[in-house]
Structure 1
């Protein structure tokens, strides 16, 4: 209900008239309900009633004649949003495309998580002063973010990019990871431990690292990675675990692990041969650690599109994300699960798995809804999954 402070100098109505109006307000079926004291969950009911209707037309019964004489101030105009501003905006879950970050994603040190469009999450690696190079806290945060997004029903697609113009990520921060790469594992008393215990500790360390980077592949939602600048070492591990990869024309790739004395161990050697069509090329780039560019990456199938700049690539990824977010989440997420299962298995195994999967998934209302909308030449809408 609109109210005006006494400082505006509006004369109050007579007391008997004020009493009658109060009684009408209590008895009126249009009187607004008292505000609830319950704290609203971020994703409860998608905020079907985001805000109580406060327009003066809907609340004239509860206004005094004096207050009706003064029009309410016009609501502020919403700020227009450009693609450059979208990553910095914050997500507020609503049926309207308000861009506010979910509370669950607001406290990460090296990642920005925003919702630049309804159903689309943007995860930005945010350590540009170090070329977005990773250390343990970063890969722990990375895994946590994608595990959370996987279960977030308000999110249907994820775009992954790196902050700054110089690098998607330059890989591992060697200075902060010397204990791992140098094998200098120590016991509680800081004395060198025996080789078996050292191996056990390093194996556990590598396993945790692998599981964190695999979170994008494990995530139910499709993940689009946008590579630019230096995309070295760990960048290839990360990209191969995503579903769709695009890049800027100036991107420089390399599998650099051999140059620091080790074999890549976070996913490249397992996934890259399945991503591209040439085992000869895979062995070439992984054993020589040579640099290669965007056009070569496109030719072998590491990326599916190349754009003139990071900005253009990110805008294209956002458009693609919006397209995927507008489709049935049952259909999109089922497709990701079935394709991932079928990689490395026989056709017959994939067909049998699809039989069992679709025996459940085909019972969704998304199928008749999509068919009906197609016949009526309308855009279908689908509920959260």
Structure 2
């Protein structure tokens, strides 16, 4: 929590809260993703994942925008062919570089704690890659989105094409990815990309805080288990998913959290769960 980062920042807003805010922090560049981001972001998520005082992570951007996509300097450094005359070796290195960038986004799913995206302003290209990996997405009415890579002569490669169809449907994902068109908060809600749209940035902040604090008060074993099982179930048949959750609960269900939930319900009081 004390480590200093160049491209992101971490804040706790309320004393004793188990909600932590992780910000993309390049406001003068509309939070474009620098090379440092792809190293710092997974490192920060891993640290928060292992921190027993953190139950929920809210991911947002400083300034007026969530993320304007990958920084063109970062893109240029990855695609620079000048240091190699061997196209085969360059292509092999290029593939490793893409996998490195992909891994930073997938770190959101690797994190056991739920990650809530709070989106205002621009969410373009790499920003869409990031939010589609998040567990819950909220936005302000003036937020706008674009799967922009096709306009840069790129096939989106950091996760949007893999995750977006499951969120908005195959046909909608195909249309958004092929046109690269801009769409706004209310349409994002209609498509299912976000769960709620708020009228202003202030209302967004307050709404996200209430949801995050509510989740943070629940059993951390139940919350992390729910995330893990839902993510795993994307790859399984219903029967395989049922078997997976049965195996999961056989190891996790009979916990002190279950006892506390039951006793607090009987005693009509708020449950208090141990840290994870």
TM-score category of the 2 structures, normalised to the smaller one? over 0.9
User: 1:252 Cα deviation (Å)?
Assistant: 1.0
The counterpart of 2:68, out of the listed 153, 167, 170, is 170
CA–CA separation in structure 2 for the residues paired with 1:316 and 1:139: 29
So what's the TM-score if we normalise by structure 1? 0.70
Does residue 248 (structure 1) correspond to residue 140 (structure 2)? The answer is yes
Deviation string, structure 1 residues 96-126 (Cα, Å, up to 9, x no partner): xxxxxx32xx411121201123111100111
User: 1:297 Cα deviation (Å)?
Assistant: 0.6
Q: Which residue of 2 aligns with 1:59?
A: none
User: 1:350 Cα deviation (Å)?
Assistant: 0.5
Q: Which residue of 1 aligns with 2:9?
A: 112
More displaced, 245-254 or 305-314? 305-314
Q: Which residue of 2 aligns with 1:371?
A: 262
SS state at 1:380 partner: coil
User: 1:366 Cα deviation (Å)?
Assistant: 0.7
Q: Structure 1 residue runs of 4+, over 6 Å off?
A: none
Deviation string, structure 1 residues 119-167 (Cα, Å, up to 9, x no partner): 11100111000110012111211111111111111100000100001x1
CA–CA separation in structure 2 for the residues paired with 1:177 and 1:234: 11
Does residue 158 (structure 1) correspond to residue 49 (structure 2)? The answer is no
Q: Which residue of 2 aligns with 1:382?
A: 273
User: 1:339 Cα deviation (Å)?
Assistant: 0.6
Q: Which residue of 1 aligns with 2:200?
A: 309
The counterpart of 1:136, out of the listed 7, 22, 35, is 35
TM alignment of 1:337-356, pairs within 5 A: 337-356=228-247
SS state at 1:214 partner: helix
CA–CA separation in structure 2 for the residues paired with 1:340 and 1:175: 33
CA–CA separation in structure 2 for the residues paired with 1:161 and 1:179: 26
CA–CA separation in structure 2 for the residues paired with 1:176 and 1:369: 49
SS state at 1:224 partner: strand
Q: Is the 8 A contact 2:69 2:123 kept in 1?
A: yes
Structure 2 residues without counterparts, runs of 5 or longer: none
CA–CA separation in structure 2 for the residues paired with 1:311 and 1:236: 22
Deviation string, structure 1 residues 217-244 (Cα, Å, up to 9, x no partner): 1100001001111110011100011000
Does residue 237 (structure 1) correspond to residue 129 (structure 2)? The answer is yes
Does residue 123 (structure 1) correspond to residue 15 (structure 2)? The answer is no
The counterpart of 2:81, out of the listed 161, 185, 198, is 185
Deviation string, structure 1 residues 316-353 (Cα, Å, up to 9, x no partner): 11111111111100011101000111013210110111
Higher-Rg structure is 1
Q: Is the 8 A contact 2:121 2:142 kept in 1?
A: yes
Name the structure where helix makes up a greater proportion of residues: 2
Q: Which residue of 1 aligns with 2:108?
A: 216
Q: Is the 8 A contact 1:185 1:202 kept in 2?
A: no
Q: Which residue of 2 aligns with 1:81?
A: none
Does residue 206 (structure 1) correspond to residue 98 (structure 2)? The answer is yes
The counterpart of 2:180, out of the listed 274, 285, 289, is 289
Higher relative CO (Cα under 8 Å, sequence separation at least 6) belongs to 2
CA–CA separation in structure 2 for the residues paired with 1:327 and 1:317: 16
SS state at 2:66 partner: strand
TM alignment of 1:80-99, pairs within 5 A: none
CA–CA separation in structure 1 for the residues paired with 2:100 and 2:74: 17
SS state at 1:116 partner: coil
User: 1:312 Cα deviation (Å)?
Assistant: 1.5
SS state at 1:185 partner: coil
